[in-house]
Structure 1
Amino acid sequence: MKKNLLILFLLVSSIAIYSQQVATGYVFDDANRNGKKERREAGIANVAVSNGSDVVLTDDKGYYSIAVDEGNTLFVIKPSGYMTPVDEHFIPIFYYHHKPEGSPDSFTYKGVPPTGKLPKSINFPLYKQGESNNFTVVIFGDPQPYSIQDLDYFTRKIVHDVKKTDKTVFGISLGDIVGDNLDLLPIYKERMRHLQLPWYNVMGNHDMNYDAPSDELSDESFELNFGSANYAFNYGDAHFIILDNILYPDPRDGKGYWGGYREDQLLFLENNLKHVPHDKLIVLSQHIQMKDDSGNSYRLEDRQRVFDLLKDYENVLIMSAHTHLQQQIEYTEVNGWKGHKPLHEYNVGTTSGDWYSGKHNENGLPDATMRDGTPQGYAFLNINGNSYDVNYQVAGRESDYQMNIYAPRVVPHKGRTTSQIVVNFFMGARGDKVEYRIGDEEWRTMRYTPGIDPNYWVKLMEWDFTEELLPGRRPSNPVTSSHLWSGTIRLDLPPGEHTIEVRATDRYGNTHFGKRDYTILE
């Protein structure tokens, strides 16, 4: 009996040893930028390397050793002051896939080809670069093209609209890179090359391999195009973390997806943060917003583990997209957050807007205003040391266009009206100060009144009452906007044209202005 047990133990052990190997190599300063470690090129000490759950640091010669299983992706966590190589499309190359047999060949969309045996040494080249602590990151939410036509809209209205400065150093797309057709991923990369910026990508629920039998295999095409779906990197005094927060198939019933993480992802987050000082700014980018206290759309125990891992950091920003709305979300003790100040999640407005719907302009581009009245656009994340602020950029407009003002065009002099002034402050949230005045009167505080944006209703009514077909596609029905304020319109001023002025102060202390005219008639 003991002999049989010994044989069984040896058999199981041999299988485990065969499936799990040890990867070794160097993280090195690639002085000549040829991607190969040469004898004169020094290793870089104390750089983190991960297998997707474990995280190790290189020794004083830049050497690392880490366990690796079949299907793992190894990656280096870029330290500040260095850059990884990028490919011809400016996608950072920071990873090595260990998939001896490759991705399943039965999938509709191809994944990683067979990589063969584990190499004797897996080296990660880095390039020295100067990094200011004051820099800007371009943020794209949900490009989500379903066709080449959509990609053309995205390219012309969004990509070509981005105006870089000398502070603009890289970009991040927050998932739903495409809309289910994963053959569009390489074309997306070609279009993004125009920006000439290193570009990091988050996986979205429309970027998955839907024929995957398990969540571990749902990102095979994403991995082919972008590397690991879970990774991290440093820039200046900020530490960036990218996580795939979509569980597919949904572990509750095997249908659809659920917001959350696998255990290996949470271990990666935990092990990674062990090497990140608490005074660093943490920027966590993922696709699905975490705003769900019911657990229906987000697994709450996963959210709580993330909250607990981040609670000791002075400054944390979470960025998400997915909703095709724009929201400023705060988590407090009520939601399980135990940090010393509320946790901010910026749910970013999307580059596809309302899925490229709406009336076409003179250039053949769709209006694509989102259901909460936020115009189609993208964001600039400005980082200074371990603090940040965000500017929203409406596509095709000047940077100071930060609000829409609704008001009647004409009102009766000293008469009656049920109409109001309604302001949609795109980056606003409950607690922000929004004021207005008409003419030379004193500034008056507006009431925070989340609801349906009347300007969006006007767009819909044009579609519903037209007697001719309009170019484009009717927008989606409206939803409650979390950034509306209202005020009373004055009818007692002298007849004639009057100007409504609005000033709004955002969560960062920046003040924005808007104007609209109306006429009082006798």
Structure 2
Amino acid sequence: MNRREFTQNLLLAAGALTLQPLSRLAQAQNTVPIPPLQNGETQSFVSGTISGVRGRRKVALPQVRVSNGRDIVLTDRLGRYRLPVAVGDIVFVIKPPGYALPLNAQNLPQFYRIHQPQGSPPLQYEGVAPTGPLPISLDWTLQEQVEPDEFRVLLFGDPQSRNQEEVGFLTRDVIADVAGQRAAFGVSLGDEAFDDLSIYPNQNRAIATLGMPWFNVVGNHDLNFDVPDRTHSTQTFKSIFGPTYYSFDYGSAHFVVLDDVAYDGIGSAPPDARKGTYHAELGARQLAWLQNDLKLVPREQLVVVMTHIPLISPGGNKKADLRDLAAFFRLIENRPHCLSISAHTHFQEHMFLGRDAGFNGAGEHHHFIHATPCGSWWTGMRDEQGIPHTTMRDGAPNGTSFLNIKGNRYSIDFKPARRPADYQMNIYAPDEVARTDIAKTEILANVFAGSKKSRVEMQIGDGAWRAMQHAPRPDPAYAAAKAAQEALPKNGGARKLPDIIPSPHIWVATLPENLPAGTHLLRVRATDMWGRTYEERAVLRVA
């Protein structure tokens, strides 16, 4: 069943005809109670037309979804829609498959219109300029494009540049490294900035050199901290990137960007009166929108959900979990093909969430906490290029990933910054082992993108392959680098590496007791959850 047939069947099942008034259609689709308007805001309506360019012809596009962040309506056969809008809403198009959104000079998609007639309140960083009244007709024209069922998406975790020097690090270490790589589009998973939101334009221009549409997720370091609550905490972000939650189709997949950073207000983080705390929460309005969005997505279609803060804290801190996780799970747990991706932690981990986490769907939900381009916030000693090594706390290098999609299936490739694509692990083995110590000598492998579904094995010489055991612990090289830096006066003139954590992707095995004296080639191979195998080698001597 294609999307058009699915949508027609859905409307007919609800007793709706495509020719009925679209405001009634929006009401019919909203089965989750929508919070009432607040602060005396009034509601009006906007209408417009969605068109597409096919070759030299401009045609009306029916059944395109348009949203105000609460309701979702479909265009009629003439491409027309009508939608309720309140002050503060952002009206946006949900990109249909086979069509491209307009882009600005920084390759940022222009699929939205902010409705803030008076603009933002006074803020430290510039917010939304006064938009004035709604236009008579709010129209979009999309360009037809070929979108195969098999494609790649380039993923950045936190770019998190605090100044122009760090934009330079990002450009030389990461952007130049993946430039020329084929991808349909890219996504940054939040913390585009590091509190100084004036960095957005320069960083956007750097990322734009990749030459692909670039979507963005809001993070906790993208906030306007000088506001009392969540209401105006993303005004600068919205002025540059648009809505903080939205969705779009590309090829065979449906992508959903969510805003799970709930700001508690200035002064909520004493003694720093300039900032406030935050927590992970979607909120009733966003959940209502998400339900409406997913109702129009076929059950067998791949859904990729992207947030900044992980659904569940990998450190086991329940207070850091998404507060409305149960409600979120209820919306996705009937879908057999759903992946969620976050960043935020500055280390990489694959989580598989089942009954213990409150997920009641079949099997487990795969949540991927993505690596960061800035690694450990550009800390650590600088290399020969003048760039901090910025190894992440899990011992993995900073980097990016490619999300590979084929139909409703996916796989993920981690790409370490300025290193070959097949550099996927480090082996920790002594250069020399005394024969009396063989039985108690451990070999460690840090498989950067490994998970509990990985199979990791070790071979010495021409011997048999032996299974290694998954055993999270601190990465030895990271611990040594941190200790060496801290032994230097003023940390060697560089920012200090962050605290050590148990790496979630360490495997361990002991040497065989009958290993003879001599020099031996040691090989470790890791097979990931998609059946791809990577190998690394080391040499050790038994004295």
Same-fold call, TM cutoff 0.5: yes
Q: CA deviation at 1:181?
A: 0.1
Matches within 5 A, 1:179-328: 179-249=194-264, 255-292=276-313, 295-300=318-323, 302-328=324-350
Render the CA deviation track for 1:260-306: whole Å, top value 9, x for unaligned.
11221111101111111111100000100011476411343x11111
Distance 1:380 1:59 in 2: 36
Measured at CA, do residues 55 and 469 of structure 1 come closer, stay the same or move farther in structure 2, by a change above 3 Å?
A: closer
Shift of 1:426: 0.8
Contact 1:437/1:443, CA 8 A, preserved across alignment: yes
Q: What letter is aligned with 1:325?
A: F
Distance 1:323 1:503 in 2: 27
Matches of 1:78 and 1:468, distance apart in 2: 51
Confirm or deny that 1:29 pairs with 2:46. no
- The alpha carbon displacement at 1:462 in A equals 2.2
* 1:81 maps onto 2:95 in alignment: no
Matched residue type, 1:234: D
Equivalent residue, structure 2, for 1:7: none
**Secondary structure of 2:133's aligned partner:** coil
CA distance in 2 between counterparts of 1:504 and 1:31 reads 47
Q: Tell me the equivalent position of 2:177.
A: 161
**Greater Cα shift, 68-77 or 40-49:** 40-49
Inter-partner Cα distance in structure 1 for 2:193 and 2:532: 34
1:495 deviates by 3.3
Partner in structure 2 of residue 141 of structure 1: 157
What is the Cα-based RMSD across aligned positions, in Å?
2.2
The Cα shift of 1:519 comes to 1.7
Aligned-pair distance for 1:109? Answer: 0.5
Give SS of 1:512's match.
Answer: strand
Deviation (angstroms), 1:413: 3.4
Partner amino acid for 2:173?
A: K
Q: Which aligned pairs between 1:385-396 and structure 2 lie closer than 5 A?
A: 385-396=407-418
Q: Which moved more, 1:472-481 or 1:71-80?
A: 472-481
Deviations 1:307-356 (A, max 9, x none): 11111212111000000010101111221112112100000011110010
TM score, norm. by length of structure 2? 0.88
1:42 maps to amino acid: V
Q: Check 1:224–1:18 CA distance in 2 against 1; reply closer, same or farther (3 A cut).
A: closer
Range 389-398 or range 449-458, more displaced: 449-458
Displacement of 1:489 in angstroms is 2.6
Listed one character per residue, the Cα deviations across residues 480-499 of structure 1 (whole Å, up to 9, x for unaligned) are 11110101134753433211
The equivalent residue for 2:130 is 114
Q: Is the 8 A contact 2:217 2:306 kept in 1?
A: yes
Separation (CA, whole Å) in 2 of partners of 1:327 and 1:122: 43
Partner of 2:33: none
Note the residue ranges of structure 2 that are not aligned, 5 or more in a row. 1-37, 270-275
CA contact 1:411–1:491 (8 Å) conserved in 2:
no
State the alpha-carbon separation in 2 of the partners of residues 225 and 416 from structure 1.
Answer: 59
Q: Distance in 2 between matches of 1:494 and 1:418?
A: 15
The DSSP-based 3-state class of the residue aligned with 2:320 is coil
- Displacement of 1:415 in angstroms is 4.4
Match of 1:493 in 2: 515
Q: CA deviation at 1:418?
A: 4.4
1:48 aligns with 65
Alignment correspondent of 2:404: 382
CA distance, structure 2, for counterparts of residue 103 and residue 277 of structure 1: 38
SS where residue 158 of structure 1 aligns? helix
- For residues 425-436 of structure 1, what are the structure 2 equivalents within 5 Å? 425-436=447-458
Contact 1:51 1:68 (8 Å CA) reproduced: yes
Separation in 2, partners of 1:25, 1:418: 72
Contact 1:283 1:318 in 2 (8 A): yes
Matched residue, 1:371: 393
1:61 aligns with 2:102: no
CA contact (8 A) 2:351 2:368 kept: yes
Task: Return the alpha-carbon distance in structure 2 between the equivalents of residues 439 and 266 of structure 1.
Answer: 56
Say how many residue pairs are matched: 499
Which of 136, 140, 144 lines up with 1:128 in the alignment? 144
More displaced, 395-404 or 286-295? 286-295
Q: Judge which range, 173-182 or 144-153, deviates more.
A: 144-153
Shift of 1:244: 0.8
Between the aligned partners of 2:229 and 2:40, the Cα distance in structure 1 is: 24
Give 1:478's aligned residue: 500
**Preserved contact between residue 453 and residue 528 of structure 2 (Cα < 8 Å):** no
Separation (CA, whole Å) in 1 of partners of 2:312 and 2:257: 18
Cα deviation, residue 183, structure 1: 0.3
CA distance in 2, matches of 1:220, 1:248: 12
Q: How far is 1:251 from its partner?
A: 12
Tell me the alpha carbon deviations over residues 464-491 of structure 1, each in whole angstroms, 9 at most, x when there is no partner. Answer: 4457963633311210111101011347
Aligned to 2:29: none
